Amino acid sequence: MNSSIVSLSEMAKQIKNGHKVVLFKDCSVPMELGRTLIKQGTKDLHLVTVPTGSMLPDMLIGAGCVATVETSGVSLGEFGLAPQFGSAVKSGRIKILDATCPAIYAGLQAAEKGLPFIPLRGLIGSDVLKNREDFRVIDNPFMENDPIVVLPAIAPDVAIFHAGMADVYGNVYIARQAELKIISHAATKTLVTVEEIVDFNILEQPELAPAALSAMYVDGIALVPNGAWPLNLPGYYDYDRSSIKAYAVAAENDSSFKTWLETQNSSSKVNSH
Amino acid sequence: MNSSIVSLSEMAKQIKNGHKVVLFKDCSVPMELGRTLIKQGTKDLHLVTVPTGSMLPDMLIGAGCVATVETSGVSLGEFGLAPQFGSAVKSGRIKILDATCPAIYAGLQAAEKGLPFIPLRGLIGSDVLKNREDFRVIDNPFMENDPIVVLPAIAPDVAIFHAGMADVYGNVYIARQAELKIISHAATKTLVTVEEIVDFNILEQPELAPAALSAMYVDGIALVPNGAWPLNLPGYYDYDRSSIKAYAVAAENDSSFKTWLETQNSSSKVNSH
Amino acid sequence: MNHSIEELLIATIAEFLYGLKHIAVGVLSPIPGSAALLAKVRSEEVKKVSIIGSTQEPYRLDGGVDLFDCAGQGRVDAFFLSGGQIDGQANVNLTGIGAYPKQETRWSGAFGSAYLYFLVPRVILFREEHSRRVFVPKVDFISAPGVSAPNIYRPGGPYALVTPLCQFLFDRNKKQFFLKSIHQGHTLEEVHDNTGFDFEVPETIPITAAPTKKTLKLIREKVAPVIADPYPDFAKKCWPNH
Amino acid sequence: MNHSIEELLIATIAEFLYGLKHIAVGVLSPIPGSAALLAKVRSEEVKKVSIIGSTQEPYRLDGGVDLFDCAGQGRVDAFFLSGGQIDGQANVNLTGIGAYPKQETRWSGAFGSAYLYFLVPRVILFREEHSRRVFVPKVDFISAPGVSAPNIYRPGGPYALVTPLCQFLFDRNKKQFFLKSIHQGHTLEEVHDNTGFDFEVPETIPITAAPTKKTLKLIREKVAPVIADPYPDFAKKCWPNH
């Protein structure tokens, strides 16, 4: 048994005002943890979206939890632009650090490897580069007249995600979301909500072990069934399209967003829908 | 069905004199392909051992197939030093490019990402660095007075390894040897010998897919049961300790090594032991 | 045989893709996705079509890093980009309108464009709206530049631009679009009226070839059922009887 | 309670490991491996012992890159190195004897030493042969340096050196070994006779503490059965009755 199993509210308390929090975009989005952060009134987060973000960052921004967004793009996909993100950028309420997808991955991989920086092709001549004071252009040390961008490591305070299965030993099964290893290695702490906690050791199952995140990298696990709702979790549940659509509509203006938020706060949908 | 399924001898012919060939050390060693290379008289290989090597590079060096070894160490482990490697280094018959384990990984990961170079901590002050003209020390662009080593990408012509299972679509199951993805991504071509070829698509099995190397990276698959003998393959067979020991003894001097080699060449042990 | 505008666009884009080994398609791209699938069913050389974000074999990739690494290795031959604004130097703006950072209109962001536009040899620009709002003299924000100085490592870049009115090729030396053909029923005047940047025009302007009967059959029978998985609404709209 | 020299070395090394979260052990290291396991059974703070190359849970790592990345993240607290030669500045030679590259004797190579020696806070040097052949005034080849200039990023480095005769601590400021204790039955003269480099000697030299009854019980009952998996011959030799 592992002492890393905690309640959702205990987990949320480990995320402090001002923390740099890294979020993976794909089907591993800890929506219920996000709602809990809003309820507890977390402020001034620096979100890193890997590499892009959708409803979770938009909702956190709208609720006033966020000071900075480091991202390659925030959008609700087929449900349109991310309205709260858009209005926060426009008003200057949040600081935006625009990147490009592989730059986010590369920065996290640098932190994973303990490198202070990592090079990346592309970017030169873009306004993305022009507006990132923390990106540099150096000469390739191995070739004359070959400028190349170098990116600083991205070392978040906390990685958070939702997964299907953890075990009582603190290991988490991440299925095909291999990038969850990168973000967990890069972050100081990793907090995971899961659909189920099993008694057997995931690492001792030869077919599961290759897609397991070792307990060494996991600082907290909370049992939160439907914790990605209304987003999806492959093998467990699909998108709840009408709820996402309702969000997309509500988020279009601040007063309907506020109303939507109050509905969320007054009753968690997670264990009842 | 995939056209990448070939015979062992057709596969061996794709490895040309002078090729840079990358070998993974762990329980994925394509010993029978190595013996086939010796039989076909391949010359002047540049071996990259990931990150170290054992019997296969020693045997290839002894048989005269190798011009250069790029390695963090060659040894027969509990069976002692690698005798043919040692004598070839001493005589100057091969060029040695000494590295340290994470430098080999980092160089391959640079190639995997299409980066011309990658930084690495450590190494400064070592004679490993002093003797690698292709490693450089630069100033960390993000911090004053912080010298750091940069390594050129390692981009092999061919990656070769042995695995348990491939499918008829050209995908290979690599189990927990995640580094096999790195070497295959870094190499121009990847050639794989396997214990079995299955009819179902490995990528369509949710539990197998995370540990599968996609056919996109696989240029040839040959069915070679016991292809890692006398080394091991987890889930299939253990080390054949007496055969390795016999090799370690035979390799101690050139004449007994030659005798051993002739025995190997006269009859393949692979399908009969 | 009658065809829809979508079928014309699919067939037109596919012409740029035959013989390429690996074609990658971004999210929310049913027409480029269909074109890539058409290229695959028509061309044996096309070994892989990757649809970013797909969870279906054989279209998925091995996670998010895989696409970018694969492009870095030179293993992605074609990709598609769009833009809220695109200008005559093929600069693409996916970020927003107005003075950065507090833009009047903020779109999503650069996504992979600032990297893939440099690395993928054939980047096909595609936009379903052909207007002066989209095709501007100069983009407000360069999410990814169309051209680079000669010393910049850039094996990739813009190759063509396809719209509902016409198709352009991009000349990387002249740093300019070149009108390749106008679709049936449209005129050069219409193209000029709706394009905010200058482009080269050939002496005689071909009409875009209509998809052949065989091509249409392949689109309807082989492509439509596959693209219906990621894009059910698109497939229902285009091929209501299939 | 009687104890073997191996048990003394295991207990002595374990003293450096209590309270550390993650201890990693290289290949062919039964005594350091046993010491790490002893530290784990005695100390709740020790969360993970990684044995490089082990295919057994919970001792395996997630592949070969994992150890080095983990050390780069600052998540490996202790590691062990040995050397064909070790000198008084804690330089380690795993590469060979004679003029490089055509060395008279070529060993295997630097392995991870040229990296881990910089990154892991407590690197314990261990060698079962205490002789002037091993402990030289200056190594022929620096596979990994013991000390670095102050501007070199180096959170890690040599911490102690344990041999069958004695144990040293390494003083990173003075760049010198300091004799911590001599094992029962050995003398300072013997240590000097067999050590080719200078080291500091305290005024009174303690005798290395013998393992307590409780420690021996833990070694024999908890450590021996586990270390027997990767090292059956070692376990059989040390604990023939277990």
Query: How many angstroms away from the CA of D50 is the closest CA of chain A?
Result: 11
Q: How far is Cα C15 from Cα C166, in angstroms, rounded to an integer?
A: 14
Contact between B208 and A207 using a beta-carbon 8 Å cutoff: yes
Q: Is D159 helix (H, G, I), strand (E, B) or coil?
A: strand
Among B103, B125, B177, the residue with its CB nearest the CB of D142 is B125
CB neighbour list of residue D187: distance below 8 Å, 6 or more residues apart:
none
Prediction pTM value = 0.97
Among A113, A185, A201, the residue with its CB nearest the CB of D57 is A201
A159, containing H or E segment: strand A158-167
Q: Establish if B139 touches chain D: CB-CB under 8 angstroms.
A: no
Contact B/A (≥3 CB pairs under 8 Å): yes
**Which two three-digit tokens encode residue A69?**
């967004």
Contact between B103 and D114 using a beta-carbon 8 Å cutoff: yes
Query: What per-residue confidence (pLDDT) applies to C242?
Result: 67
3-state secondary structure D37-104: HHHHHHCCCCCEEEECCCCCCCCCCCCHHHHHHHHHCCCCCEEEECCCEEECCCCEECCEECCCCCCC
Query: What per-residue confidence (pLDDT) applies to C64?
Result: 86
Looking at per-residue pLDDT, the higher value among D27 and D90 belongs to: D90
Among D57, D62, D74, the residue with its CB nearest the CB of A204 is D57
ipTM of this complex > 0.90?
Answer: yes
Query: What per-residue confidence (pLDDT) applies to A240?
Result: 95
Contact D/B (≥3 CB pairs under 8 Å): yes
Instruction: Read off the pLDDT of residues B111-135 as tens digits, 9 standing for 90 and up.
Output: 999 999 999 999 999 999 999 999 9
Give the pLDDT band of residue A273 (cuts 50, 70, 90): very low
Arithmetic mean of pLDDT, D178-193: 98
Contact between D62 and A115 using a beta-carbon 8 Å cutoff: no
Asked whether A192 and A223 are in contact (CB, 8 A), the reply is no
Give D3-39 as a DSSP string: --HHHHHHHHHHTTTTT-SEEEE-TT-HHHHHHHHHH
Asked whether D45 and D20 are in contact (CB, 8 A), the reply is yes
Q: Give the phi and the psi of residue D171 in degrees, each rounded to 5.
A: -95, 110
Give the pLDDT band of residue C53 (cuts 50, 70, 90): confident
The chain D residue lying nearest A114, using CA atoms, is D72
Arithmetic mean of pLDDT, B233-242: 94
Q: ∠ CA B241-B247-B250 to the nearest 5 degrees? A: 140
**Contacts of residue A181 in chain D, CB cutoff 8 Å?**
62
CB neighbour list of residue A227: distance below 8 Å, 6 or more residues apart:
A30, A31, A32, A33, A162, A193, A194, A195, A270
Asked whether B111 and D123 are in contact (CB, 8 A), the reply is no
Give the pLDDT band of residue C70 (cuts 50, 70, 90): very high
Arithmetic mean of pLDDT, A181-204: 98
Q: Establish if A253 touches chain C: CB-CB under 8 angstroms.
A: no
Give Cα separations from A31 to A6, A34, A105 (angstroms): 17, 5, 22
Query: How many angstroms away from the CA of C215 is the closest CA of chain A?
Result: 29
Alpha carbons within 13 A on the beta-carbon side of D91: 22
Could you give all domains of chain A from N- to C-terminal order, each with its CATH number? 8-99+155-263 (3.40.1080.10), 117-152 (no CATH)
3-state secondary structure chain B: CCCCECCHHHHHHCCCCCCEEEEECCCCCCHHHHHHHHHHCCCCEEEEEECCECHHHHHHHHCCCEEEEEECCEECHHHCECHHHHHHHHHCCCEEEECCHHHHHHHHHHHHHCCCEEEECCCCCCHHHHCCCCCEEEECCCCCCCEEEEEECCCCCEEEEEEEEEECCCCEECCCCCHHHHHHHHCCEEEEEEEEEECCCHHHCCCCHHHEECHHHCCEEEECCCCCCCCCECCCECCCHHHHHHHHHHCCCHHHHHHHHHHHHHCCCCCCC
**Contacts of residue B209 in chain C, CB cutoff 8 Å?**
57
**Contacts of residue B145 in chain D, CB cutoff 8 Å?**
151
Percent over 70 (pLDDT), chain C: 100
Measuring CA to CA, which residue among C63, C13, C60 is closest to residue C36? C13
D170, containing H or E segment: strand D166-171
Give the pLDDT band of residue D56 (cuts 50, 70, 90): confident
CA dihedral A236, A157, B114, B169 (to 10 degrees): -20
**Which two three-digit tokens encode residue B229?**
């003998």
Measuring CA to CA, which residue among C126, C199, C151, C159 is closest to residue C16? C159
Q: Output the average pLDDT for chain C.
A: 96
pLDDT at D175 over 60: yes
Query: What per-residue confidence (pLDDT) applies to C150?
Result: 96
Identify residue D188 by its one-letter amino acid code.
Answer: L
Q: How far is Cα C170 from Cα C159, in angstroms, rounded to an integer?
A: 5
Arithmetic mean of pLDDT, C88-105: 97
Q: How far is Cα B20 from Cα B17, in angstroms, rounded to an integer?
A: 9
Is the CATH number of domain D5-238 3.40.50.1000? no
**Which two three-digit tokens encode residue B6?**
């070939």
**Which two three-digit tokens encode residue D38?**
């002893």
Q: Output the average pLDDT for chain B.
A: 95
Q: How far is Cα C54 from Cα C44, in angstroms, rounded to an integer?
A: 22
Measuring CA to CA, which residue among C35, C37, C63, C57 is closest to residue C49? C37
Q: How far is Cα B7 from Cα B249, in angstroms, rounded to an integer?
A: 32
Q: How far is Cα D48 from Cα A76, in angstroms, rounded to an integer?
A: 41
Among A78, A82, A146, the residue with its CB nearest the CB of C28 is A78
Query: What per-residue confidence (pLDDT) applies to A272?
Result: 36
pLDDT at B268 over 80: no
Give the pLDDT band of residue A2 (cuts 50, 70, 90): low
Percent over 90 (pLDDT), chain C: 90
**Which two three-digit tokens encode residue D88?**
């008084």
Give the pLDDT band of residue D55 (cuts 50, 70, 90): confident
Give A54-107 as a DSSP string: -HHHHHHHHTT-EEEEEES-BB-GGG-B-HHHHHHHHHTSSEEEE--HHHHHHH
Q: How far is Cα C47 from Cα D28, in angstroms, rounded to an integer?
A: 45
Q: How far is Cα A155 from Cα A159, in angstroms, rounded to an integer?
A: 10
Among C63, C115, C151, the residue with its CB nearest the CB of A100 is C115
Q: How far is Cα D113 from Cα B101, in angstroms, rounded to an integer?
A: 8
Looking at per-residue pLDDT, the higher value among B48 and D63 belongs to: B48
Query: What per-residue confidence (pLDDT) applies to A31?
Result: 97
pLDDT at B270 over 80: no
Among B128-137, C61-70, D124-133, where is mean pLDDT lowest?
C61-70
Chains touching D (3+ CB pairs < 8 Å): A, B
pLDDT at A92 over 70: yes
Instruction: Read off the pLDDT of residues B244-259 as tens digits, 9 standing for 90 and up.
Output: 999 999 999 999 999 9
Instruction: Read off the pLDDT of residues B32-42 as tens digits, 9 standing for 90 and up.
Output: 999 999 999 99
Arithmetic mean of pLDDT, A166-176: 96
Question: First CA to last CA across chain A, in angstroms?
Answer: 31
Q: How far is Cα B251 from Cα B11, in angstroms, rounded to an integer?
A: 27
Q: Is A135 helix (H, G, I), strand (E, B) or coil?
A: coil
Q: How far is Cα C217 from Cα C1, in angstroms, rounded to an integer?
A: 10
Query: What per-residue confidence (pLDDT) applies to B272?
Result: 36
Helix axes D5-14, D30-42, angle to 10 degrees: 50
Chains touching C (3+ CB pairs < 8 Å): A, B
Looking at per-residue pLDDT, the higher value among A96 and B270 belongs to: A96
Arithmetic mean of pLDDT, A159-166: 98
